[in-house]
Amino acid sequence: MPTFRNGAAELYYEVHGTGYPILLIAPGGMRSAIPLWDRAPWNPVHQLATRYRVIVMDQRNAGQSHAPIAVTDGWDDYLGDQLALLDHLGVGTCHVGGMCIGGSFCMGLVRKAPERFASAVLFQTIGLSGNRQAFHEMYDSWAAELRPRRPDVAPAAWAALRHAMYDGDFLFTVDRDFVAVCPVPLLVLCGDDLYHPRDVSLEIARLAPRAELIEDWKSPQAQPAARAALERFLASHTPD
């Protein structure tokens, strides 16, 4: 089982295919883990592994990954895990893509280390649009499921992580000002529900200086064109 350590975190990952690397960050909120790609309208891991070195992982305290939870934890700890995995695999630069919470992780990575990412693909990213309570409830469900197995975690740490993850603005990891100067090309596949608001996807596409938008990509009739657009986008931004 491929795992690596980032400090006290033990993180599970997989690598599929060969070629220029792409880090794909799974949907699922706090439960973001590799198997949840199979619930997507189509699985980009399978699609892209024919041309790219596709890197996927279970986020800390999801799937087969484990880590402490402290009152100081937040988005940067997850981003640190993701960058540490790239370092562990010897990846200097890559594409990055993410669905759901993965969209916010992508934008956080671009903010934190823009020189490492050739492009970013946001599959129905989460975002704030009158729905903060839904994110609090999602977090509480995850914590309630995990808490009986984690007597090591102090009550204050659960509360602090909830605040750090979901009391921010817009995409939680970045604000509108950052999106307006985002230095990498973005492909935005539109969201359309409570956790993945359509207006957030549209605003990203409007604000970002190098963004492309796909509004219809999940319906069966739209999927072939959307998959082809994804491949064209990545190919056009893959370094020689």
pTM for the full predicted model: 0.97
For 36, 43, 82, 101, 116, the CA distances from 112, given in Å and listed in that order, are 26, 27, 11, 17, 9
Give the phi and the psi of residue 64 in degrees, each rounded to 5: -100, 15
Listed as ranges, residues in the chain with pLDDT below 50 are none
DSSP state of 66: B
H or E element at residue 55: strand 53-57
Contact at 8 Å (CB) between 128 and 200?
Answer: yes
pLDDT at 240: 87
Task: Give CA–CA dist 123/100, Å, rounded.
Answer: 7
**Domains (ranges, CATH) in the chain?**
3-235 (3.40.50.1820)
Closest by CA to 70, choosing from 57, 59, 79, 61, is 61
The 10s digit of each residue's pLDDT in 20-48 is 999 999 999 999 999 999 999 999 999 99
193-231 pLDDT, tens digit each: 999 999 999 999 999 999 999 999 999 999 999 999 999
User: Looking at residue 183, what is its pLDDT?
Assistant: 98
Q: Which alpha helices (DSSP H) does the chain contain, by range?
A: 44-48, 75-88, 101-112, 132-146, 155-166, 176-179, 198-207, 223-236
Q: What are phi and psi of 96, to 5 degrees?
A: -135, 140
What pLDDT is attached to residue 68?
98
CA distances for 80 relative to 58, 111, 209, 233, angstroms:
14, 12, 26, 26
